[in-house]
Amino acid sequence: MKPVSEYRQIRDDLIVWNSYNPECRTDCSSTAIRTQEGFVLVDPLRLEEQAVERILWEDRVIAVLLTNGNHLRGSLYEKERFGISIYAPELAEASVPADYLVKTGEMIFRTLKVISVAGAGPGESAYLAGEVLIVGDALTNLDGLHILPKKYCENPELLRESLQHLCLLNFDTICFAHGLPIVGGAKESVARTVEAEGTPRDQ
């Protein structure tokens, strides 16, 4: 994929960007969130140098963070560019060259809480920072908000239970690995989707 030049600033500490990926034939999205120590890139697509400079100003990137074992994307490039480490969920260790493995319930970078989303892909995890929730494949916002289709799930019923647990968290904004973020009323949108779809779709 070509480096991405455009991004969307949701607020001072939250930025997203996206691009169509011909290899997986879908839109992919990435998130940069500022922690107390600097920016963390979540499931990063490679950014053009000028875009990086505009995002950072005088800040810095401290890590790459993956939501599952399928989202390496431009992580190796960003790791070399910034001299940083790749963090990934512990159950994704066989799928990605992670430097550090994170566990569910752990608080990383003093800002992001790790939350297991079992039943989706390998090691699927979400990250909660205040009222912002960042998810991987478990939920997508392409042509509407949907649960990951059954054919991609390790366990569809377990995924639904995991999503019900997410609905108990307090978040107002949600960022995705596939699709644009929902800003305002995100928790209610997720709850309606989980209730309406019941279990993950066949397609």
104 vs 94, more confident? 104
Distance in angstroms (rounded) separating the CA atoms of residues 65 and 71 = 10
Length of the chain (residues) = 203
Average pLDDT, the chain: 92
94 has pLDDT over 70:
no
Q: What is the pLDDT of residue 93?
A: 61
Helix (H, G, I), strand (E, B) or coil at 32: strand
Catalogue all structural domains in the chain, each as residue range(s) with its CATH number: 8-197 (3.60.15.10)
Helix (H, G, I), strand (E, B) or coil at 175: strand
22 vs 105, more confident? 105
Cα-based torsion angle of the residue sequence 179, 182, 188, 191 in order, rounded to the nearest 10 degrees: 10
Amino acid in the structure at residue 178: H
Helix (H, G, I), strand (E, B) or coil at 17: strand
H/E stretch holding 156: helix 156-166
Count Cβ atoms below 10 Å from residue 155 Cβ, excluding itself: 14
Q: How many CA atoms lie within 13 A of 177 on its CB side?
A: 26
Question: What's the mean pLDDT in 7-16?
Answer: 94
